[in-house]
Amino acid sequence: MTATHDLVLLHGALGASTQFDALARALEPHFRVHLLDFEGHGSAPPRGRPFRIPFFSENVLELLDSRRIERALLFGYSMGGYVALHLALEHPGRVARVATLGTKLYWDPQTATLEAARLDPSAIRAKVPKFAEALAARHEQAGGWERVLADTADLLRDLGDHPLLSDMELRRITRPVHIVVGDRDATVGLPESAAASRSLIDGMLTVLADTPHPLERVDLTRLVPLLVDFFLQATPERQAGPHTMR
């Protein structure tokens, strides 16, 4: 059977589309899968402007326009989920459904300051040198990993001062949204994910057991069927309330 639904995978902060290689292969029997690097990440050069969610949303719209996709399914990991929801809010006609994984939705200055402080290149190089090496290889074409860290820290501080997805904004999103979070995610708390799912007009929540935040440690044999079910086979009964996958 030929896939007829367009699905765009959106990477997280410090990430790149190459992190989705395994997930994309698993989803390709069901969807026409599209990947992109947000500007200043991976293979996409910076554009001389700061990292901002609206600019990343613009990157997605440019991809849709270039491939003549009128409306797409969106899956966003971490920051990518924030971008997907922002798109659903601001451009609902281009979005069919949204699924997020490990996306932190509530930001304030204190939280942003704490998260930005973790993006110190010297500390990362000293404490987790393999991660530093991976970031260097991932962002070599985008101007270097240290620049990506600095620009991401600036993005987080801006989100802390000017959050784009308050409860009021979430209530304005009309597209079906599936929020997925791991029960061992140290970055995104279950209470905030549950609260966001309740704020949405058509929201549902899945908690993945024994699952931390890093995408590489998510069990794709559980994530892939969940996404296929939501994007292609979701029923009103399934959308009515929270669901926990064990």
Percentage of residues in the chain having pLDDT higher than 90: 91
> Looking at the domain assignment, is residue 22 inside a domain?
yes
> Looking at the domain assignment, is residue 76 inside a domain?
yes
> Looking at the domain assignment, is residue 93 inside a domain?
yes
Provide the token pair at 196.
């966001």
> Looking at the domain assignment, is residue 141 inside a domain?
no
Provide the token pair at 212.
């931390």
Instruction: Classify the C-alpha dihedral 66-14-81-32 as positive or negative.
Output: positive
Extended strands (E) in the chain: 6-10, 32-35, 72-77, 95-101, 177-182, 203-208, 243-245
The residue type at 229: D
Give the number of domains in the chain: 1
Q: Output the domain CATH number for residue 47.
A: 3.40.50.1820
Q: What are the residues whose beta carbons fall under 8 Å from the beta carbon of 109, sequence distance 6 or more?
A: 157, 160, 161
Q: What are the residues whose beta carbons fall under 8 Å from the beta carbon of 95, sequence distance 6 or more?
A: 71, 72, 74, 84, 87, 88, 175
> Looking at the domain assignment, is residue 1 inside a domain?
no
> Looking at the domain assignment, is residue 225 inside a domain?
yes
Res 245: pLDDT:
36
Indicate the SS3 state at residue 131.
Answer: helix
Q: pLDDT of 28-41, one tens digit each?
A: 999 999 999 999 99
Domain range enclosing 183: 6-106+165-245
Res 1: pLDDT:
56
> Looking at the domain assignment, is residue 157 inside a domain?
no
What's the whole-model pTM score?
Answer: 0.93
Q: pLDDT of 42-65, one tens digit each?
A: 999 999 999 999 999 999 999 999
> Looking at the domain assignment, is residue 64 inside a domain?
yes
